[in-house]
Chain A
Amino acid sequence: MKPTLSVLLGLLLLAGCQSGSNKSERGPVSSDAPIRVVATTSMIADLVRVIGQPYVSVEGLMGPNVDPHLYKASEGDVRLMSAADVVIYSGLHLEGKMVDIFEQMESRNLEVHALAASFAPSDLLESSYFAGNHDPHFWFDVSLWGKAASTVAAILATFDPLHATQYAENLNRYEALLQTTDAEIRTLVNQIPQEMRVLVTSHDAFGYFGRAYGVEVKGLQGLSTATEAGTADVQELAAFVAERKIPAIFIESSISPRGIEAVREAVRAKGFDVQIGGTLYGDALGSPGSNADTYVGMVLANAQTLVSGLASDSNLGQ
């Protein structure tokens, strides 16, 4: 029994050592030997692909409709990240259950970067629940996403100075696209009558959107979906919607719709017929093939859903 045990332990140790060794074999970057990037959310994966093409190969950990607040990394994920050239995550505790993993990798001097580092404190929204903590959903402000894009370009250029010009080109093109997108969103939002510019949704994901585009935002759960809403929270939100006669409330793609559905029933019981205006993409992109499988597609789709819910003629005058 004893010799077998020590052989087993020896094998385990060896296996552990393996995962760190791949990186030193990294050769020059080309489209055939791209930079291996691991991104956490689908938005980040999309961003890195756009900025880094054709010299990156991106693996996203979280697929569409996956909730990053609750996502637990598997053994396979950790190995993937250890073997990657660069790891990029969002930060500000968005990937709430992976914080320890990132800290560990940073201490091992792996190439791990948080996009949240792109921002000055004035860019960020502070959490109303915990002073010193910030709202991590910055990507809904398109201008902030532009800053994140610059950060990605800088990371890639540092790792691969050979193709720095390519990354700069991609960045410029993308920034132009983001500017048009930002303007489009503003136009769409302005179609909503002022008093109905209220976004009621499952959790406090849209704070940055609200600040950037002048929309009042209310979420049922707090900043993280790990919390559970109480009866009073449902009641307050229902009272708010009924009082302000907001025509539509919204569910999110990565969260159970039950909370918002309960709010809807409560509002209806108060005599006001509120609709579920549609599904917003909260913490993840849509499925591939849908109109929301890229960042730009996603924010536009959200804005359109918002408009059709709040500004449609059938809802006016209620």
Chain B
Amino acid sequence: MEFAIDIRDMTVAYRDKPVLWDVDLQVAPGVLIAIVGPNGAGKTTLIKASLGLIKPAAGSVLIHGKPYAQQRKSVAYVPQRGSVDWDFPTDVLDVVTMGLYGKLGWFKRPGKEERVDALKALSQVGMEEFANRQISQLSGGQQQRVFLARALVQNADVYFMDEPFQGVDATTERAIVDLLQNLRKQGKTVAVVHHDLQTVSEYFDEVMLLNVRRIASGPVGSEFTEENLRTTYGGRVAFVSALSAKQTS
């Protein structure tokens, strides 16, 4: 079976300190996988290194059997909300349209067709009335939805998302979950860096526990265990038993 995401031997060192060490991750198509771990575990680094934004010391990434560099058009990235200055002078529609710049290529400006595609993506996240709103006037949840729309508009097969549930309101959280379910139904693969251990088993099919090294990965049922969590978080997680009890119930 061809993996949708096949990361091997990913190693990233920052000034002689290992941030990621020999990490493998294989994800089958149509799977929603959560990547969890404590702060500084290398979760964002894993995504950035896989997408070529950071130069790894070692490692390879195959998307649907081909190297990532050849598959850019099939991969969409949703970075952390905080990675961008939301005071930038632009509106919602413009940000979503940016997702189409790859398709447009050099120099070509977005036109009517792109506008239609962008509005469609906005309606998928319930933000089409906000198309002309300045992004500085958006709430956290609205910002997250705009970022998601920007990824959706790319019509990718594989999605990498970095903490999309961080700091959003309940409505947005439900909307994002619905979106993920939809993507899965369409056979897309989504890897999500997730901060909330309480919701891992509810929202995701698989989980990867990461703390510089891969501690475990696989179906939530078998891998999201008390023992694995303890190893990953080094005893820093309360309610570990409650969490693992939750998913067995």
Tell whether any CB of A sits under 8 Å from a CB of B in the complex.
no
